[in-house]
Amino acid sequence: MKVIFAAAMLLFMPFSAHAGAIEKLKTFIAQTHSAEADFTQDVLDQNGKRIQNATGVMQFQRPGKFRWTYQKPYEQIIVGDGRKFWLYDKDLNQVTVKSLDAALGSSPAALLAGNNEIEKGFVLKESGTREGLDWLEATPRGQDSSFSSVYMAFNDKAGLVVMELDDAFGHKTVLHFSNMRANPKFPAREFSFTPPEGADVVGE
């Protein structure tokens, strides 16, 4: 099973030690225009056993443009070009395409790469401090999200560093971000996608 999280996120910026996680998230949304980071993704089963691990590079440019490149153990590319969502699976030589709104809905990608109106789509709640990180819980208001809840952790030096996503099947997807670069300038082609010749295109 390949668990895909399409999203777009991250900022490297200092925060006040007195700021809670919700305040840090709102500052991040308000001040982040683009970002790039390495990520690791672990998927855990109901018993906390790791059933999948992946690594790659995340890039985004607000609003609504992002590229997630999964490098190991399989090669996939997820692109949001502002209008459409593209998922390319190299092993299957298959491209899935949807409208961006239909693909994201009330998702973590919408929370981090969408507009500034976070609380229209999510209920935010402080979730305390663990291992020196400030956590919040974001619960989707709508029923179209793939996840029942999203937890985000911030530190005072690097902004958002961890996301945990719980789904309806009891699985947890944990994303760790590193080597962040805040507000880089990306060429327009970074967030465009053309299906490779011969690939099977599914969707719109």
Q: 9, 29 in Cβ contact below 8 A? A: no
Considering the domain boundaries, does residue 26 fall inside one?
yes
- What's the pLDDT score for residue 143? 73
The CATH number of the domain holding residue 158 is: 2.50.20.10
Range of 76's domain?
Answer: 21-190
Is the omega angle on the peptide bond into residue 184 within 30 degrees of 0, that is, cis? no
- Of 59, 135, 56, 68, the closest CA to residue 103 belongs to 68
Considering the domain boundaries, does residue 197 fall inside one?
no
Considering the domain boundaries, does residue 2 fall inside one?
no
- What's the pLDDT score for residue 6? 36
- What's the pLDDT score for residue 110? 57
Considering the domain boundaries, does residue 15 fall inside one?
no
Rg (CA), the chain: 16
Q: 56, 37 in Cβ contact below 8 A? A: no
197 backbone φψ class: left, alpha, beta (φ>0; ψ -120 to 50): beta
- What's the pLDDT score for residue 116? 63
- Of 132, 130, 112, the closest CA to residue 122 belongs to 112
Considering the domain boundaries, does residue 198 fall inside one?
no
Considering the domain boundaries, does residue 146 fall inside one?
yes
Q: 9, 160 in Cβ contact below 8 A? A: yes
Q: What are phi and psi of 10, to 5 degrees?
A: 100, 145
Half-sphere exposure at residue 173, Cβ-oriented, CA atoms within 13 angstroms:
23
Q: 101, 83 in Cβ contact below 8 A? A: no
- Diameter over CA atoms, the chain: 54
Q: What is the pLDDT of residues 104-149, one digit of tens each?
A: 655 566 566 666 667 777 899 999 999 889 999 988 887 767 788 8
Residue 49, amino acid: K
**DSSP code per residue over 87-107:** EEETTTTEEEEEEHHHHHSSS
Q: 108, 147 in Cβ contact below 8 A? A: yes
Considering the domain boundaries, does residue 1 fall inside one?
no
- What's the pLDDT score for residue 90? 94
- What's the pLDDT score for residue 120? 77
Considering the domain boundaries, does residue 60 fall inside one?
yes
- Of 30, 20, 50, 55, the closest CA to residue 40 belongs to 55
- What's the pLDDT score for residue 88? 96
Quote the pTM value. 0.82
- Which residues of the chain have a pLDDT value below 70? 1-18, 102-117, 144, 157-158
- What's the pLDDT score for residue 29? 78
- What's the pLDDT score for residue 114? 66
Domain count, the chain: 1
Which DSSP symbol is given to 51?
Answer: E
